[in-house]
Structures are given as C-alpha cells and as structure tokens.
Amino acid sequence: MTIQFRDETFRDDYTFRNSRWAIERFPFPFHEDSFMYSVNMEQHRGGPAGSVYEKRFDVDEHYVSEMRDRALVLAEDPLRCQSLPHMTLAGWDLLELIMVAKSEDYPDLFQLHRDGDRWRWVNRPLGIDDTFTFLDDTTLPHGPMEYITRQTQGDFCVLDQRDDNLWMDAGMVTTQADWSLDFDLGMNFFEWHAPVPKAHEMGIFQRALKFLLNIQQGAPARRLNWTMTVNPLLDTSPENYHRWGIQKTTLTPENIGRKQHLRVELQTFFRLPRSNALVFPIRCYLCSFEDLTTVSKWGRRLHRVVRDLPVELATYKGFVDNRPMMLDYLSQFDDGLPTSPGIWPDLETEPPLRMG
Amino acid sequence: MSGGEKIAVRVTEKTPLNDLVTRFRFEAVDGRPLPTFSGGAHTVVEMKDGDRNRLNPYSLMSDPFDRGSYTISVRRDDAGRGGSKFLHSAVDVGDEITISYPVNLFSLDLRARKHLMLAGGIGITPFLAQIKQLDRSHGHWELHYSVRTESLGSYVAELTAEHPNDVHVYYDDRGQRIDLDALLRGQPLGTHVYVCGPKGMIDWVHRTAEARGWPAEAVHSEEFLAPEPGKAFTVELTQAGKTVEVGETESLLEALERVGEDPPYLCRGGACGQCETAVVSADGTILHRDHWLTEEEKAAGAKIMPCVSRFEGTSLVLDR
Ligand code: HEM
Ligand code: FES
C-alpha cells in the first residue's frame, strides 16, 4: 500500500493521531494478561504482512513528522547525537544497512544507486537526492550515522563490542523513555542498565548480554519494551524533564483516554559488518488509551496488566501516581472475559465488550 | 540456526602455496555479492565427507571490502580432525560447498592508536585482512611474523614488498626470534597487541604483556570456538511417542521441528528459556551450550535447552 504521511506534531498542540491502519498494526506488547521482565528476544526475520515486524526498518504514516521533530530536538541540543571517533566506520555500516534495507523494502519511497564507491541516495518522502562517496566523510553534510538517522524513525545506539561487553560509544537519541545518551555515552551494558529494577537479580542482563555478543551478521534479533507517556511526546528525555514531567499531573478522568499513551519500543539488534559493532535501533510507537481500547482484546488485557504490575515496575516506568486513575478508566473495558493468547488483535474472533 | 546464516559458494581457485598451505577462493553460487566483513573474521566451512559433515573455521584473508570473493588459506594438519586434509585432497575448483556468514571473534579495537600484530605460521591469515582494512582507513600498524623456514613463509614476499617498513619476518631455522620484551617496551601509549599462532605463542604473548603491565584489554588473541554442531544423536520423545535422529549440522530444536513437533522457542540462542525441556533419562553426557540454566541445573542434568544443546551417549529421553 502507499503510505499517506501525516502532517502532525509531537509537542505543543500535539496533533499526532493514529489512523485505523496504525491502530490495528500497533505492536501491542503483552502476550498474556500479566507482565514481568524476561529475556524476550527472538529472531528478526520478518513477520505477518503489514505488521511492524515485516520489514527490517518499518516506515509508517508518522515518518515525515517524526523526522521533523528529530530535527527540532537536534537544533536545540546537538548532544543528542554523538559518536566517539572510533565509531565512524560503524556509522558507515549503519548507513549502508539502512539504505540497502529501505531501498529493497520500499522501492517506491527510497532508491539507492551504487557505482563502486559513488552512491546516489533518493529519499522521496523527505525530498532528498544526494550523491556521495561511500566511506568518505567529507562528502556528506553530517557524519554517516547522523546523516542516515535523521532520515530513519527510532533512536539508535551503536555499541562497540570489546572485552566481552558492549559499549555505548555512539548514538542518535531523541525519542527516548527518560534516559540520556550524553550521560550513558561510553558506558557498558551493565552500567547503563543499572537503574532498572529486578531484572539484574533475575539474571536477565547476564543472559541477554551473552545472546547479544553472539548476534551474527545476517541474523538480526528483536524484542519489545514498553512504558507510559502522557501526551504523544517523542522526546521524553531527562534533559527536558522540566517540560514533560509536569504534564503527568494534567491527567483528568475526562482527558485520560486521549492524553494517556502506551509507548512501545520495537528494539532490534543487527551485527554491523565492517566494524563488528552492534546497532540497536529503538523504534517508538505511541497509541492513546482511547484508541487501544477500540480493540476489545487489548482493552481487557491492558486493564489487567496495569492493575497487576509490581509496584517497582510502575514506579520505574513513572506512572505509579497515575495508576489509580488509569485503572478507573481501563476497568470500563474489562468485562472479565478470557483473552486469547498472543499479542495480535484477533478482531474477528475476540468477542466485543459485554457491558452495560 | 545452530550454525548461523549460511552461503552456498563455488571454489573458483585452488592455489598451493608451499608444502603445507593451499589457498582457496570462493564465489557465491547465486552470483550475488558476498557480505562484507571486518578484518579478523572467520567463516565455518562445511564439508561433506562421505556420510559425515566436517565443519572447520578458517580466517578470511581477502580484502574485507571485496564482495566478489572470499579467500582462505588452509594448512594441512596431518594430526587434526581431518577437515584440512579433506580440503587439500578432495575439494577442487568447481565444487560447491557451504560456508557460514563471517563471524568475528578477533576484531580490531578501533580505538587503538597503533596495532601491533604478532603472527606465527598460518596465524598470518586474519592479519592479511586486517592490514587491508587498516590501510584503507590509514591506520597505524606493524607486523612481526614468525615462520619456520623461508619456503614455509606464506605471503612473506607479498607483505615485505608492499610494506617494507611495517613487516618484520623471523625465520626459526635461522634462530631468529621476536624480541617481545623489547618490542612491548618500545610501543607508544594506546597500542593494542594482537596475536594469532600456535597456542604456546599466544600464551607467551599474554604472559609477557601481563608481566610488563599491559592491561588485558589491550592484548587480543584469536580464539576459535568449536563450531556448534557436533555428532549425530538419537532422542526419544515420550509425549509425542517419536524417536528422532538429530543430524550433525542441525540443532535438537530443528530436528524436533522437522518431524512435525512444535516446541516453544523465542531466541534460538540459549538465552530466553522458552525451549527448556525436562530430561526423563539420559545415558550419556548432555552438552549444555546455553546461557539459561544455572551451573547447578546443568550439572543435575534434569533439563536441556534444545535450541543450542546436544547430547553424546547411548540414549536420551525427553518429556516432549
Ligand atoms: C545493546 C542493546 C541495549 C541497549 C543499548 C539498551 C539500553 C537501555 C537503556 C538506555 C535503558 C534505560 C535505563 C535507564 O533507566 O536509564 C534500558 C532499559 C531496559 N533494558 Fe535495555 N538495552 C539493550 C538491550 C536490552 C536487552 C537485550 C534486554 C533484555 C532482554 C534489555 C532489558 C531492559 C529492560 C527490562 C529495561 C527497563 C525498561 C522499562 O521497564 O521501561 N535491554 N535499556
Ligand atoms: S529458544 Fe531461547 S533458550 Fe532456547
């Protein structure tokens, strides 16, 4: 299908909306009626047609507006994009990975013409048509990682692999769930994960790291992560907490359906060929409670998950104060019927809400 | 995906270099470009030797950015498991074989100000690719290469011709030795050391560098993990009432799927815990290769992770 790119904002007047198409393909993260951290990783080898898992880098109706929001963040705070000197080669690897994947997966939107090291890149949605020399930094307007991630939805961490660990030595981070690249730059896998509750004791990070160190070229992996965001804000960074933290107090029983969003990150992992680095794209999808609960299975399940989530997790994810109001709202969509296993909406088979 | 992604290639050149070493060139059967790789990477070559599969890792020595072909150099190892003898004697130009995607367990530390490379014998091969990579990025490197005799010095002529100032060759039969102590002492700050060669040489370099106060992170050696697949074995499934033969190059999980079972899985890499399966009885040894079970659980032998782990012995019965 051709994608209709929306003209919308993720700040101030918040005109972001999801179409019916986007709601039904939303990566709902709960495969059962409760949630706990786990080593939830699987191979990233496509998925059902039309789903966000189908392509290596999903492009959707928010693409153009998300890229505009990224440019605004970078104009205010250039430190959201950083790359230590030894990571430039990995930046070129990433540029190649994305250009090849997008031009193969969306040939009507993106084209890559290669004549030896002379490359021409056409990005129709953003109106870009650039010719440059591969591996020659002087032929691009930005470094290779910055150049390509200004044109690709989602945040990007580029991890150097050495001493049996991963090091956050480069990244483009403007749509993050309350963590800071500038703070985490140069840290290793255990250091940047230090604030996460429970998962260390459960042995999750030990196992996850071993898996990641083993990810091989041509065999990418993925997982989902989630949190809650009031208003469709992409940039929920610690740097700007003074601007968005306060918005959490603006929820009322009347506006919560529209304002409260489930924020889901589709995280993928690719080994990069020349640098042997690992890239970790973190793609953020937002969906309002109002829209989510139009899918009866998701409405039932979201209520149960939020209700039963351990308090440490609700606190870490920053919504423990608003949880009672969320539950009041969500309980209207939970009639107690059982839900089918798995994350898919099951629109045909799941019974409609039975309630008066 | 026990052995990772694979590529079908054709042997397009077989070049004997000296009494022991032969070089092979591979090109993709489908004519598509091969994946780029990073200097130091190896590929696992699969060889069908009668009814057994041989899997041997070899360092890629060609230019990592050349996607037209890969080259490896194989030293005939008369005492080894036979893969190198098989390549030398039974594999010829035109043959099709399967190789894995490149895997790098010996990558350059790109933060290094200078790369000091120490090679022994056939251990030269990963450095050939690394040198090509570094030359492209104008990296600073120096190679010290120890060979038994002039005639066994693979690539000595090319290396010394192209890089007369950066390559230093030592001949065993002339009593020449790398003076490691002096070499380490003279290095600028920010130098990383890489060694590839016989085990004794690797240990010597690590020991000497440690004694000289070098941080362990600055001393790198190639460690070939044994390729994952192993011997074939048989497994009996109590719930399904089936007996399944697990081949050398497939995982237990893949074998179960092949006979129509649908065991749960997520990562297929021994980390997520989804495929955990109870062992009813085992007469033999479970080869635990996962990161999921604790050491105690592995020792107890009551559970197995079919996505990566294997078995050697007479009978294995699983609760599936
Ligand atoms: C190399 C890739 C990865 C990077 C760069 C990364 C980065 C991060 C960062 C920056 C945070 C925020 C920590 C904070 O509060 O400051 C985080 C949270 C977290 N990470 Fe990772 N991570 C990676 C891989 C993984 C993997 C493979 C797993 C588990 C299988 C994992 C599990 C988690 C969990 C459970 C949280 C808490 C999230 C929440 O509850 O909202 N991470 N990660
Ligand atoms: S499938 Fe994840 S541990 Fe086996």
Q: Select from B222, B256, B288 the last residue of a domain.
A: B222
What tokens were used for A105?
Answer: 């997966």
Query: What are B104-161's pLDDT values in tens digits?
Result: 889 999 999 999 999 999 999 999 999 999 998 889 999 999 999 999 999 999 999 9
Which helix (H) or strand (E) segment is A151 a member of? none
| Cα-to-centroid distance, A30 and ligand 1 (Å) | 17
What tokens were used for A177?
Answer: 């769930």
* Integer CA distances (angstroms), A351 to A300, A339, A356, in order: 11, 9, 15
Residue B79 confidence (pLDDT):
66
Burial of residue A310, with CB atoms counted within 10 A of its CB: 0-12 exposed, 13-18 middle, 19 or more buried: middle
The residue contributing the CA closest to ligand 1 atom 35 is A37
Whether residues A86 and B292 touch (CB distance < 8 A) is answered with: no
Whether residues B103 and A275 touch (CB distance < 8 A) is answered with: no
What SS3 class is residue A263? strand
Residue B44 confidence (pLDDT):
85
Quick check: is B267 in a domain?
A: yes
Query: What are B286-314's pLDDT values in tens digits?
Result: 999 888 899 999 999 999 999 989 999 99
Chain CA centroid to CA A72, Å: 18
Whether residue B201 is predicted with pLDDT greater than 50 in this model: the reply is: yes
Q: What are the residues whose beta carbons fall under 8 Å from the beta carbon of B31, sequence distance 6 or more? A: none
Same domain assignment for residues B250 and B208: no
**How close B111 gets to chain A, by Cα (Å)?**
5
Whether residues A274 and B101 touch (CB distance < 8 A) is answered with: no
Residue B51 confidence (pLDDT):
67
Residue A355 confidence (pLDDT):
67
pLDDT along chain A (356 residues), means of 10: 91 96 97 95 93 97 98 97 96 97 97 96 98 96 98 98 95 96 97 94 91 91 97 94 92 97 98 96 98 97 98 96 98 96 94 80
Q: Which of B101, B109, B267 sits opposite A221 (nearest CB)?
A: B267
The larger pLDDT score, comparing residue B258 to residue B225, is at B258
Quick check: is B68 in a domain?
A: yes
Domain extent at residue B239: 233-318
Strand pairing report for A81-83 and A165-172: antiparallel
Q: Select from B71, B100, B129 the last residue of a domain.
A: B100
What one-character DSSP code corresponds to residue A86?
G
CA distance A41 to A79: 30
> What phi, psi does B224 have (nearest 5°)?
-80, 115
Tell me the whole-structure pTM to 2 decimals.
0.90
Residue B80 confidence (pLDDT):
62
Which atom number of ligand 2 is nearest to the Cα of residue B265? 1
The larger pLDDT score, comparing residue B90 to residue B277, is at B277
CB of A291 within 8 A of CB of A18? yes
What one-character DSSP code corresponds to residue B188?
P
Q: What mean pLDDT do residues B205-217 have?
A: 95
> What phi, psi does A26 have (nearest 5°)?
-60, 135
The residue contributing the CA closest to ligand 2 atom 3 is B270
Q: What is the DSSP string of A294-330?
A: TSHHHHHHHHHHHHHS-HHHHHHTT-TTTHHHHHHHH
Q: Predicted confidence band at B209 (pLDDT cuts at 50, 70, 90)?
A: very high
Residues of chain B contacting residue A41, judged by C-beta atoms under 8 Å apart: 266-267, 269, 271-272
If phi > 0 it is left, if psi is from -120 to 50 it is alpha, else beta; for residue B114 that is: beta
Query: What are B59-71's pLDDT values in tens digits?
Result: 999 999 999 999 9
Residue B238, domain CATH: 3.10.20.30
Query: What are B82-96's pLDDT values in tens digits?
Result: 678 888 988 999 999
Quick check: is B164 in a domain?
A: yes
CA distance B275 to A224: 19
Whether residues B64 and A217 touch (CB distance < 8 A) is answered with: no
| Nearest residue to B292 via CA among A280, A145, A41, A292 | A41
Whether residue B224 is predicted with pLDDT greater than 60 in this model: the reply is: no
Query: What are A163-181's pLDDT values in tens digits?
Result: 889 999 999 999 999 999 9
Same domain assignment for residues B244 and B211: no
Q: Which of B37, B102, B111 sits opposite A86 (nearest CB)?
A: B111
Same domain assignment for residues B138 and B96: no
Mean pLDDT of chain B: 91
Domain count, chain B: 3
Active site annotation includes A17: no
Q: What are the residues whose beta carbons fall under 8 Å from the beta carbon of B21, sequence distance 6 or more? A: B73, B74, B75, B76, B122, B152, B154
Q: What is the DSSP string of A206-254?
A: HHHHHHHHT--TT--EEEEEEEEEESS-S-B-GGGHHHHGGGGGG--TT
Residue B269 confidence (pLDDT):
82
Other Cβ atoms less than 10 A from the Cβ of A316: the count is 17
Q: What is the DSSP string of B242-287?
A: EEEEEPTTS-HHHHHHHTT-----SSSSSSS-TT-EEEEEEEEEEE
Residue B3 confidence (pLDDT):
45
| Nearest residue to B140 via CA among B176, B115, B109 | B115
Chain A, 190 to 209: residues with Cβ < 8 Å from chain B are 206-208
Whether residue B1 is predicted with pLDDT greater than 60 in this model: the reply is: no
Q: Predicted confidence band at B52 (pLDDT cuts at 50, 70, 90)?
A: low
Residue A300 confidence (pLDDT):
97
Quick check: is B106 in a domain?
A: no
Residue B157, domain CATH: 3.40.50.80
Whether residue B194 is predicted with pLDDT greater than 50 in this model: the reply is: yes
Mutate to test the pocket of ligand 2, among B256, B277, B307 (most ligand atoms within 8 A of CB): B307
CA distance B289 to A210: 12
Whether residue B2 is predicted with pLDDT greater than 50 in this model: the reply is: no
Same domain assignment for residues B14 and B93: yes
Q: What mean pLDDT do residues B215-239 have?
A: 81
Q: Give ipTM to 2 decimals.
A: 0.83
Whether residue B192 is predicted with pLDDT greater than 70 in this model: the reply is: yes
